[in-house]
Amino acid sequence: MAGILLTSYLSSTPLTIAGIPPSIIFSAVQDKGVISAFVTGDSGALHDELKQMGVEEKMNDFYRNKIPDQQERDRYIHQRFYDHSGYVGTNYKTTPSGNLRRKEES
């Protein structure tokens, strides 16, 4: 019974790794520029490489049905970038607890 429930859950819920679809992770780890920026800790270069790959648009497509509100989806996606790379988008600032907030929410 537990196996049936797990199979049902996994087939209806898209799999992510720390909030990122595996297809995006797999394509990113094959890019030499992404790997170099990640290893050296250059969050700005990493963001530029991921942007060039269209990662933000792919994340938007992935989460569009799950997070219908565009601003909340954008914040969620940027929070994932921040959590994994330390990059803070130009429209965001960090709170003391490490969460991103839009600058105009201050």
pLDDT by residue for the chain (106 residues), tens only, comes to 555 555 555 555 568 888 889 999 999 999 999 999 999 999 889 889 998 999 999 999 999 999 999 999 999 999 998 998 888 888 999 999 999 999 986 5
Contact 103, 95 (CB under 8 A): no
According to the model, what pLDDT value does residue 9 have? 52
Residue 97 falls inside a structural domain: no
Neighbour count for residue 52 (Cβ, 10 Å): 11
Residue 9 falls inside a structural domain: no
Residue 94 falls inside a structural domain: no
Half-sphere exposure of 104 (CA within 13 A, CB side): 3
| Single pTM value for the model | 0.76
According to the model, what pLDDT value does residue 10 have? 53
Residue 5 falls inside a structural domain: no
Tally of structural domains, the chain: 1
Residue 80 falls inside a structural domain: yes
Strand-pair partners of 100: 94
Domain that residue 38 falls in: 18-86
Neighbour count for residue 24 (Cβ, 10 Å): 20
According to the model, what pLDDT value does residue 40 have? 94
